[in-house]
Chains A and B, each alone.
Chain A
């Protein structure tokens, strides 16, 4: 069975500072990996995804993530955050051929001015 661990439940950073949100997964088969963002009282918006190919993937709003198969990680990074990035971020995994997404518990990113 798959599982996802988001190592930090909360991450406070100052505006314009870099940020990394950590995600590790467990699976016995090949997987697809996703990061979603959830703004207050809203649904989930896709930030980026890794399906195959280059291990460095770029997404919306200046975010990027790197797939590391040996460390089973998919950490999300942004070089300079903005107040508008304040939100909950979810890492998710699905097995290839299966449509079910398994989510982590989420990381709350708080940007301080």
Chain B
């Protein structure tokens, strides 16, 4: 069974730039959720994708957007980067419709905005 993978592991960007983070879900899972974890904080829910559509969103501005592909992998895009976007971005996969209450996390992408 393949776990959740994320790429890249680390990324440095400058303010105003755009970034794309990628996630491959665990085999057999159909749902991907994204979380932002600032230093010293718990993860905050950004949004979730199910059947290639957004299936719930947290309190994040529209410059945070995402995609889910037919193979259930996903991208998180952030436009117009701000210094406060520096964080660990975590992807989690689960299975809706199969007792999918449990989310399994990837190793994360650490983003630094200068």
User: Could you tell me if B45 and A102 are in contact, using CB atoms closer than 8 angstroms?
Assistant: yes
The distance from the CB of A56 to the nearest CB of chain B, in whole angstroms, is 18
A45 to B90, CA, bound (A): 12
Once the chains are docked, how many angstroms separate the CA of A83 from the CA of B105? 24
| Bound Cα distance A11, B40 (Å) | 15
Are B43 and A103 within 8 A (Cβ)? Answer: yes
Query: Looking at A4, A34, A101, A105, which has the most chain B CB atoms within 10 Å of its CB?
Result: A101
Give me 11 A-to-B residue pairs in the complex whose CB atoms sit less than 8 angstroms apart, sorted by A's number. A42-B107, A42-B108, A44-B105, A45-B105, A49-B102, A96-B101, A99-B33, A99-B50, A99-B55, A99-B94, A101-B35
From known contacts A43-B90, A45-B105, infer whether A101 and B43 are also in contact, taking CB-CB under 8 Å.
Answer: yes
Q: Quick check: is A63 within 8 A (CB to CB) of the other chain?
A: no
In this complex, the interface size class of chain B, counting residues with CB under 8 Å from chain A, is 20 to 34
Chain A CB within 10 Å, residue with most, of B31, B50, B103: B103
Residues on B with C-beta less than 8 A from A29 are none
Q: How far is the CB of B16 from chain A (nearest CB, A)?
A: 28
Q: Mark A78-113, 1 if CB is under 8 A from B, else 0.
A: 000000000000101010101111111110000000
Cβ contacts under 8 Å, B28 to chain A: none
CA distance A43 to B105 in the complex (A): 6
**Which residues of chain B have a CB within 8 Å of any CB of chain A?**
4, 6, 31, 33, 35, 40-45, 48, 50, 55-56, 58, 90, 92, 94, 96, 99-108
Decide: A99 and B100 in contact? CB cutoff 8 A. yes
B33, B42, B108: residue with the most chain A Cβ atoms closer than 10 Å: B42
User: Given contacts A49-B102, A106-B41, are A100 and B94 in contact (CB under 8 A)?
Assistant: no
Can you name the residue of chain B whose Cβ is closest to the Cβ of A105?
B42
Q: Which residue of B lies closest to A108 (CB)?
A: B40
Report the separation of the CA atoms of residues A45 and B92 in the bound assembly, to the nearest whole angstrom: 11
Q: Is A7 an interface residue (CB 8 A)?
A: no
Residues of A within 8 A of B41 (CB): 105-106
Q: How far is the CB of A73 from chain B (nearest CB, A)?
A: 17
Residues of B within 8 Å of A105, CB to CB, are 41-42
